[in-house]
């Protein structure tokens, strides 16, 4: 779409006719993509952005690089929501190539496979699986019953995805108006899963708002885990049952997450970190090879000492 046609759709002023292919973050956008600035903590990204245009308030328009066009709006996040709908793909492709299924692969009854999808060799798709459009599944991968893989996602070689898991559902993204109405931000990215990944049953991995939610090689994910949009789970990490990750959480390699622990959004966890069960990560962890526990989070040894002191106080009071 041309930029002026986009602006017209969103009731904004713009005379430029440059071609726009999509939307992206300030840091990753190219000169044919649109980005936005809602929070001034990202001003450093704004100054270096290569975006063709940016939704921005009047207050910050002078902070833009000279080659980036300002789309002035009172509510940049709402404008982003409107733009995301314009670039949203079809829910279901009605035209395209029939799926290609590799040698020695087994497709049981009641499996649905979409258009333009490629299934590797020696793959097993069990009954009730839904494989959407434009999917790639690598060799020797097993998809158990009632797994759902939404369109545009990629699964590597030697993966196992257990029953009831959903890959590529929409991330939880909404902008709200002054009167409290929620406007959907269409999630136009995908999920990319590496090689040798095992995912337990009834887990949900959301697609990215733009670009990809990434599960790297060798990751092990337990049952009942939620991974939100644009998260990155690093190589060899272990995620145990009932863990939750808010949007854009980044785990470096070989992180271990204890059961029922959670990570707030836009945080980074250093390599070889261990998070104990029922812990809440609310700040980035920059030092590798440490164990953490509790809420608020503290080093595991400190948490043990704290629990001991609390126990002694309670014992003393009871006497």
Give catalytic residue positions.
Answer: 229
Among residues 158, 140, 161, 139, which one has the least CA distance to residue 150?
161
Q: Do 161 and 138 contact (CB within 8 A), yes or no?
A: no
Cα distance between the two ends of the chain? 75
CA–CA dist 102, 140 (Å, integer): 10
**C-alpha–C-alpha distance, residues 249 and 266, integer Å:** 5
Q: State the residue for tokens 């690089």.
A: 65
Q: Six-digit token pair at 297?
A: 């989070």
Q: Within 13 Å, how many C-alpha atoms sit on residue 251's CB side?
A: 34
CA 109-142-195 angle, to 5 degrees, is 150
Both tokens assigned to 150: 């939404």
């Amino acid at each position: 779409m041309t930029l002026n046609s986009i602006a017209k759709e969103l009731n904004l002023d713009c005379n430029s006719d440059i071609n726009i292919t999509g939307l992206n973050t300030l840091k990753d956008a190219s000169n044919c993509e649109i980005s936005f600035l809602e929070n001034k903590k990202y001003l450093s990204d704004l100054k270096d952005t290569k975006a063709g245009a940016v939704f921005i308030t009047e207050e910050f328009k002078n902070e833009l690089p000279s080659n980036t066009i300002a789309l002035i709006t009172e509510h940049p996040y709402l404008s982003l929501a409107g733009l995301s709908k314009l670039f949203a793909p079809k829910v279901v492709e009605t035209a395209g190539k029939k799926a290609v299924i590799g040698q020695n692969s087994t497709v049981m009854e009641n499996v649905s496979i979409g258009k333009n999808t490629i299934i590797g060799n020696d793959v097993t798709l069990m009954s009730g699986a839904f494989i959407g459009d434009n999917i790639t599944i690598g060799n020797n991968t097993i998809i158990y019953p009632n797994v759902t893989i939404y369109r545009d996602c990629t699964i590597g070689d030697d993966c196992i995805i257990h029953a009831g898991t959903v890959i590529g559902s929409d991330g939880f993204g909404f902008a709200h108006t002054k009167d409290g109405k929620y406007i959907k931000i269409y999630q136009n990215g995908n999920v990319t899963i590496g090689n040798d990944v095992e995912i337990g049953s009834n887990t949900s991995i959301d697609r990215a708002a733009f670009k990809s939610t990434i599960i790297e090689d060798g990751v092990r994910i337990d049952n009942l885990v939620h991974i939100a949009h644009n998260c990155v789970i690093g190589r060899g990490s272990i995620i145990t049952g009932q863990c939750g990750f808010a949007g854009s959480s980044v785990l470096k390699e070989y992180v271990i997450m204890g059961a029922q622990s959670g990570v707030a959004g836009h945080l980074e966890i250093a390599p070889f970190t261990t998070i104990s069960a029922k812990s809440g990560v609310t700040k980035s962890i920059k030092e590798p090879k440490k164990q953490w526990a509790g809420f608020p989070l503290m080093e595991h040894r400190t948490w043990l000492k704290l629990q001991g002191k609390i126990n002694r106080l309670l014992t003393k009071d009871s006497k």
